[in-house]
Amino acid sequence: MLLRDKAYHYGVMLGDGFLAKGENGYSVLLKAIDKDFVIFWRNCIERMYGKQYSIYDMKAEGENRQKCYLCKVYGKDKVEEVEKLTHNKTELPNFVFDGDNEVKKSFIQGLMDSEGYITTSFSPIKDTHIGLYFANTSRWTKDFWHMFKSLNIEVSDLKLRKMKDGRKDLYWFKINILDYVNNGLSFNIFRKRRRLEWISKILNDYTHNYKGRRYSLAVVEK
């Protein structure tokens, strides 16, 4: 259990997580608009470190003025461990590659909670579009893409979107929703999980009503 918690923690650290070093000390932290996401991560690190950590409500800020939730774990050793195992967040940690499938899934879950997203577009005129995606600016996205393939989860080709205005280029790929769900993967964020469950039901109905048809990326991308 602790190794799966650690894998999830590292997925979050390579996603929405943050390493802080400054006058207020060293800390690993997660700040997000989804409290259930922060709670799940907090529960993992509490089991890892055997201590209790608080979650704080943060004032609404930014263009969207959305309320955020923060959990911060102090410790120079904790920051340096993440930096060491991820080479300053430029590589995926080896213990995940060496772990069993459940460890890999926990790591995937942490990154998908951070950076995964679902799009839906239903129109009587235009093509219907349903998609589960992962996108990130880091070069390790290729290794993450390979991790899905190692679990027999169908993914699209890894693609690169060239960005303008000095922004980093974006690596992204699409994920087979039914393969993802059937491997026991979901989201720990309610709003994402609810949408995923709704879409997967639609796709399951599709494959049930049309015998012999298998939902695949090739089908939905035509």
Ordered domains of the chain (ranges, CATH): 2-88 (3.10.28.10), 114-220 (3.10.28.10)
Q: How many CA atoms lie within 13 A of 19 on its CB side?
A: 18
- Give 128's pLDDT tier (boundaries 50, 70, 90): low
Q: pLDDT grade, residue 64 (50/70/90)?
A: low
Lateral strand order in the sheet of 18-22 = 18-22, 25-32, 66-74, 55-61
Render pLDDT for 138-153 as a digit per residue (tens, 0 to 9).
999 999 999 999 999 9
146 in Cβ contact with 139 (< 8 Å): no
pTM, entire model? 0.88
Question: HSE of 132 in the Cβ direction (CA atoms, 13 Å)?
Answer: 27
Instruction: Dump pLDDT digits (tens) for 28-51.
Output: 999 999 999 999 999 999 999 999
